[in-house]
Structure 1
Amino acid sequence: MKAYITTLFCFLTLTLCAQTVRKYSNEFMNIGVDAAALGMSSAVTAHTNDVNSGYWNPAGLLNLEDNQLALMHSSYFANIANYDYAAFAMPIDNRSAVGISLIRFAVDDILNTTQLIDAQGNINYDRISLFSTADYGLTFSYARKLPVQGLNYGVNAKIIRRVIGDFAASWGFGFDVGIQFETKNNWKFGVMARDITTTFNAWAIDEDEFAKIQNAVAGQNQELPETTEITIPKLQIGVSKLVDFNVDYTLLTAVNLNVRFEENNDVISSSFASINPAIGFEFGYVDMVYLRAGVGNFQNEMQIDNTEQLSFQPSFGVGFKYNGVQIDYAFTDIGDQSVALYSNVFSLKLDLSIFR
């Protein structure tokens, strides 16, 4: 039974990952990075200002004062899938900055049972091998100040690599554009357009390996799936405000509107676009200790009795920063508030000036 389940998983993965004009491709690039941001339900488009800005809004890289390095790890689905992230960014001069980041989302050590039964019909466990299905996203970021005071822009160029063992692999390319504007009284505004040119993925499928899956799953005679998929553009609009209570205490409040140009179950939805709000808070003490909370991913879920129920995704987090080293933790639900699918996210950020 396990052999058939594993083989069926491989077959369905190939079939679902390579459909023509599939609008939900590269969803691993939408999970998010940095436990500090995830603790605020990703409502950081307006105020992101460090090495992680390469993901959230590349315009924020212009706030860097020195080179920075960031690392993050999280496990999903009871540690079956691992999500890892690394990034580096540096200022070029007082008007521009660059960054590079890499995301890997993978399920490793999957049993390949397509050769479990030999030509004589005997089960031979020595014929079982392991493979991984992994998604990689490599992003190059560039940011520059505009002549208008407080207005910055940034651009991302993304290379997507997706691999499903020896069965199939794809390459994809896309671009993001972001802007930020800061007023003199600590109001910040940001816009991030993801996959603005539409990100394309082209799949190459090994027909021989694919045939092994079809032969291993009884009754499956499907044709090879199409080999092109796209990722439609998305828009994120944010605003944030930092309030200083006194020398020691601060409160950062942020709101995001995440826009997809399609009709779905988002709390605000039409045939043209759907809008999903997110709200985040960060309470800081002496610029050293941070407590974070947020709520987002509001969905109108259809119930068994055909009524709709509003669901949402809560997030919590803490952070500690000292002498150029920042460690953050987020406790976030990848589904909604009623399903126990919480994940622990850890991230590290280093200001490389501490090594000088």
Structure 2
Amino acid sequence: MKTTALLALLLALAPAARASGAGADPFNFLFLDAGARPVALGGAYTSLADDADSLLYNPAGLAVPRRHQATFMHNQHFSGITQEYAAYASPWGLGLNLNSLNFGEATRTTYANPTGAGLGKVAMNDLAFGAGYGREVLGVRAGVGFKYIREFIAGVTADGYAFDLGLQRDSALLPGLTLGAALQNLGPAVRFQRVDEKLPLNLRTGASYRFSAFGQPSALALDVTKERSESPLVGAGFEVAAMGFMPLRLGLSTRNQAGPGVTAGLGWRYGGLGVDYAFVPYGDLGMAHRFSLSWRWGADPEERQDREDRDDREDPAPKPRPRVFAPPDANARFAAAERARSAGDVKGARRELEAARRLLASDDRRQVLYLTRYGELSYDEGETDDARELFLDAIRLARRIDTTGPAVSGAYIGLSRCLADAGQKRGAHDALLKALEAGPTERQRAEIEKRLR
């Protein structure tokens, strides 16, 4: 049974194994998805990658994290096959991962002895260790990854190395849209049983769209992958963060040819802690269950800025700050968006706002600021209906995560303008009163009081 399961897994992962026979590419375990979130999304992660899993799918995503991140996954595959995976991403664009697949032991067989009686067992396992770096340059995220790979089957070991290259870009024409591409497994041929085998070169392209559905952060993703000498494969996924902390996911992958190709999963977020689950049916072979545990730690930019501001107030004398490479800062993106808006560059402002959003966790209170600023841009452009929905989304989110402050006041002020334009004077007045209660800045308070007169 173990030998049958092994063959089934290899065939499900790599159609090349059926077409090429003994000459099939080695290291096909590299196509086995890891990380419960990407798995549940059908492996459609080329453009969505923005966390510790980025190195596996698109190293360009390593440019996004602004805090330390680590994830650990266990995959309980069918017939006792197991996969262990760990990954790390730093706020400086560096990433590491370790991916191990263990088939256990199978009965040794020969043509003369197909039952394997008296021949003992053989072990089979695969291993990959990777490191990479990603950075954003001129609005494009670019990354490179290196990996050492090893395959061990029945006492025969083959090892080698490979490189991955990746790109991501947020669309300036359609805010929320991100495009991505990655070229994987670039490297020299590997000697395997006296034969030089080419690595399974793979091209990934993808697009994703992040949006708000009924006030809940949501995303759609689509990937098309093309392995050397093979037909393209498709992966697609949908995710909605129910109540802001419980992601629900559904996906489809044509790579899994042993089952229907459907994937699904869910997650849970609390502060920096995340737990995710995904399952993949493999038809008559059974189900594969993946469990991931992730953790994010380290001071975020807003907390760091607050500390620096307090230090400056306590000691007003200017102090030189060390010149170090800083991680991406959402606050800097919001400031750049305001500068672009003031200069009349609407596309630039929207691009900066999308860049800021990618740096925010789903429960970050600056998600309210993002929605409010986006609503202000829409209002400036005369898109009153869109602006109103964005302001309402900001208010709903603020209530759900129990936050107040200038961003919330700004949402109520914007809503008041939209209602006033629609002739709803009473609603506009009530929204201004809510803006006063939310904790406005002095400038906002002056505007509110002027409009209430």
Give 3-state SS (helix, strand or coil) of 1:37's partner. helix
2:276 to 328, 332, 338: 328
Distance across 1 between alignment mates of 2:21 and 2:91: 40
Equivalent in the alignment of 2:265: 317
Equivalent in the alignment of 1:164: 153
Equivalent in the alignment of 1:194: 184
**Change beyond 3 A, Cα 1:285–1:21:** same
Give 3-state SS (helix, strand or coil) of 1:32's partner. coil
Amino acid in structure 2 at the alignment position of 1:239: A
2:249 counterpart of 1:292: yes
Whichever structure has more helix as a proportion of its residues is: 2
* Contact 1:59 1:155 survives alignment (8 Å): yes
Distance across 2 between alignment mates of 1:314 and 1:112: 34
Distance across 2 between alignment mates of 1:254 and 1:260: 20
Equivalent in the alignment of 2:322: none
* Contact 2:63 2:133 survives alignment (8 Å): no
List runs of 5+ in structure 2 lacking aligned partners.
11-16, 111-116, 300-453
1:239 Cα deviation after fit: 0.5
Give 3-state SS (helix, strand or coil) of 1:259's partner. strand
**Change beyond 3 A, Cα 1:230–1:186:** same
* Contact 2:46 2:57 survives alignment (8 Å): yes
Distance across 2 between alignment mates of 1:245 and 1:20: 47
Query: How many residues are aligned here?
Result: 279
Instruction: Return the index of the structure with the highest Cα Rg.
Output: 2
List runs of 5+ in structure 1 lacking aligned partners.
115-122, 204-224, 264-273, 302-310
2:206 to 219, 228, 238: 238
2:126 counterpart of 1:132: no
Amino acid in structure 2 at the alignment position of 1:98: L
1:299 Cα deviation after fit: 8.5
**Change beyond 3 A, Cα 1:245–1:109:** closer
Amino acid in structure 1 at the alignment position of 2:150: R
Give 3-state SS (helix, strand or coil) of 2:252's partner. strand
Give a deviation string over 1:160-182, Cα, whole Å, max 9, x none: 112235x2211111111110001
Using CA pairs under 8 Å that are at least 6 residues apart, name the structure with larger relative contact order, 1 or 2: 1
**Change beyond 3 A, Cα 1:113–1:295:** closer
Equivalent in the alignment of 2:164: 176
Q: Percent identity?
A: 23
* Contact 1:236 1:256 survives alignment (8 Å): yes
Equivalent in the alignment of 2:142: 153
2:145 counterpart of 1:144: no
* Contact 2:83 2:102 survives alignment (8 Å): yes
1:136 Cα deviation after fit: 0.5
Distance across 2 between alignment mates of 1:317 and 1:226: 43
Give 3-state SS (helix, strand or coil) of 2:42's partner. coil
Matches within 5 A, 1:1-356: 22-79=23-80, 81-92=81-92, 97-110=93-106, 132-146=123-137, 148-149=138-139, 151-164=140-153, 167-184=155-172, 185-195=175-185, 197-203=186-192, 225-246=193-214, 248-263=215-230, 274-297=231-254, 312-333=260-281, 335=282, 339-353=284-298
* Contact 2:27 2:200 survives alignment (8 Å): no
Give 3-state SS (helix, strand or coil) of 2:144's partner. strand
Give 3-state SS (helix, strand or coil) of 1:47's partner. coil
Q: Which moved more, 1:227-236 or 1:63-72?
A: 227-236
Q: Which moved more, 1:167-176 or 1:28-37?
A: 167-176
1:21 Cα deviation after fit: 9.1
4+ aligned runs moved over 4 Å, structure 1: 109-114, 128-131, 298-301
**Change beyond 3 A, Cα 1:169–1:300:** closer
**Change beyond 3 A, Cα 1:200–1:40:** same
**Change beyond 3 A, Cα 1:283–1:98:** same
1:112 Cα deviation after fit: 7.0
Give 3-state SS (helix, strand or coil) of 1:74's partner. strand
Distance across 2 between alignment mates of 1:321 and 1:288: 5
Amino acid in structure 2 at the alignment position of 1:90: S
1:108 Cα deviation after fit: 2.6
Whichever structure has more strand as a proportion of its residues is: 1
What RMSD over aligned residues (CA atoms) do the two structures have, in Å?
A: 3.2
Amino acid in structure 2 at the alignment position of 1:181: R
Equivalent in the alignment of 1:215: none
1:285 Cα deviation after fit: 2.1
Distance across 2 between alignment mates of 1:330 and 1:313: 13
Distance across 2 between alignment mates of 1:155 and 1:22: 29
Distance across 2 between alignment mates of 1:300 and 1:317: 20
Amino acid in structure 1 at the alignment position of 2:94: V
**Change beyond 3 A, Cα 1:141–1:298:** closer
1:74 Cα deviation after fit: 0.9
Give a deviation string over 1:58-81, Cα, whole Å, max 9, x none: 1111111111111111122321x1
**Change beyond 3 A, Cα 1:229–1:316:** same
